Amino acid sequence: MAEGEEEDGEDRISSLSDDLLVRILSNLHTRESVSTCVLSKRWVHVFKALTCLRLDDENGSLLDALDEMRHRTDLTSFDLSIFTRRSGDIVTVAEKAVRNIVRLNLSLNSLSIYGILNMYLTRPVFNSRTLVELKLHRVCIAETLSVASLPSLKVLSLSRVQFDTKSVFLSLLSAVSRVLEELRISSPTFSAPICDREADLFPCLRGAFLHKLPWEMLVLFISVSHLLTTLEFTPMDSRQMEEGEENVDNWINPIIVPVCLTNQLKSCLLHGYKSTTCQDRFVRYVMLNSNILKTISIKCLPSTDTTVKYRWLKKLASWRRSSTTSLLFD
């Protein structure tokens, strides 16, 4: 007897309401949900009511299906990872889908005959009253993003995102700063120097995960995130520097100790430790000024010699700490 059928042959699953069937399909990858349309006439249109879409497409074969979504206004969650030559079509779908969406996750790669072609996201994606979670990977944010409004955003993840200018980057941060609770940034690309901020730019930010960034940006984030409890940082190395840029190994101790260090920070993790003067200044500063820090974790490069690691550990363990902080060293 087939699963879901009674002895008389009745299909009990198909007899469920549309709402229940949609909830079941929502737990599947969208490609699998769409495939249920061949089961019977009962299932032909069920998948079209899905409000949570998860699409992964390596060759762009889903583009025609995405075209049909241009006018969907009922999506609440949209995950899209796609590799295609038709970048404009994908951007249009993303900008249409964001109208009432709560969660948007885009990983977009566009290939032209000349190589990688940048996908520019513009104003519609960054003006949403409903968006709570935004994750972007390998997209570009245009200079036309002068005004952004994301008043409900709590989680922001930017991986290999290219900004036309650093002012665009700061405009985006300003737009999400009031209620943002978690921020993840890895290997962004921009040119102009970042400006200093003194205000409490992120009053709700509690977790900052910053990778492949210059030290000056770390100083900015800890200075404007007064409730920060978790900090993870990987510094940019010299191989990532643009021609003409200054040395990235330039942590400078803030004259005024950031509020998050004195009152909030409980966990700090530094990746890529090589015992440079800059890294040591940062670690000593955090140890000395973090009043309630529970754990500071230092991770060396995998190639680091064991004898060298032991010498570094002895040095780190000898430094004064302002709280009963545990030192984890690997």
Region 49-70: mean pLDDT is 61
Q: How many CA atoms lie within 13 Å of 236's alpha carbon, on the beta-carbon side? A: 24
- Residue 134 β-bridge partners: 104, 156
Residues 6+ apart with CB under 8 A from 252: 215, 219
Q: What is the pLDDT of residue 186?
A: 87
Picking from 324, 258, 252, 314, the residue whose alpha carbon sits closest to that of residue 287 is 324
Are the CB atoms for 117 and 110 separated by under 8 Å?
Answer: yes
- Cα(105)–Cα(97) distance, rounded to whole angstroms? 11
| Residue 155 in tokens | 């989680």
- Whether the pLDDT of residue 271 is over 90: the answer is yes
Position 173 confidence tier, pLDDT thresholds 50, 70, 90: confident
Q: What is the pLDDT of residue 17?
A: 79
- Whether the pLDDT of residue 283 is over 70: the answer is yes
Vertex 247: Cα angle to 243 and 248 (nearest 5): 100
From residue 238, how far is each of 137, 201, 202, 246 by CA, in Å? 23, 29, 29, 10
Q: Which of 33-37, 85-89, 124-128, 226-230 has the highest mean pLDDT?
A: 226-230
Q: Which long-range CB contacts under 8 A does 93-98 form with residues at least 24 apart?
A: 93/66, 93/67, 93/69, 94/121, 94/125, 95/121, 95/122, 95/124, 95/125, 96/69, 96/70, 96/71, 96/72, 96/124, 97/69, 97/72, 98/124, 98/125, 98/128, 98/131
- Whether the pLDDT of residue 163 is over 70: the answer is yes
From residue 179, how far is each of 45, 135, 157, 165, 203 by CA, in Å? 38, 16, 15, 24, 7
Region 153-162: mean pLDDT is 86
Region 285-310: mean pLDDT is 91
- Cα(259)–Cα(202) distance, rounded to whole angstroms? 12
Q: How many CA atoms lie within 13 Å of 83's alpha carbon, on the beta-carbon side? A: 6
- Cα(235)–Cα(241) distance, rounded to whole angstroms? 11
Ordered by start, the domain boundaries in the chain are: 18-50, 53-191, 193-330
- Cα(121)–Cα(207) distance, rounded to whole angstroms? 25
Average pLDDT over the chain reads: 75
Reduced to 3 states, what is the DSSP secondary structure of residue 88? helix
- Cα(274)–Cα(258) distance, rounded to whole angstroms? 25
Q: Which of 136-150, 195-209, 225-239 has the highest mean pLDDT?
A: 225-239
Position 198 confidence tier, pLDDT thresholds 50, 70, 90: very low
Neighbours of 191 (CB within 10 A): 11
Are the CB atoms for 191 and 242 separated by under 8 Å?
Answer: yes
Q: How many CA atoms lie within 13 Å of 186's alpha carbon, on the beta-carbon side? A: 11
Percent of the chain with pLDDT strictly greater than 90: 15
Percent of the chain with pLDDT strictly greater than 70: 71
Q: What is the pLDDT of residue 73?
A: 62
Position 196 confidence tier, pLDDT thresholds 50, 70, 90: very low
Q: pLDDT tens for residues 208-259?
A: 999 988 888 888 888 888 889 999 999 887 554 444 444 556 788 888 888 8
pTM: 0.73
Region 21-38: mean pLDDT is 75
- Whether the pLDDT of residue 51 is over 90: the answer is no
User: 174 phi and psi, to 5 degrees?
Assistant: -65, -35
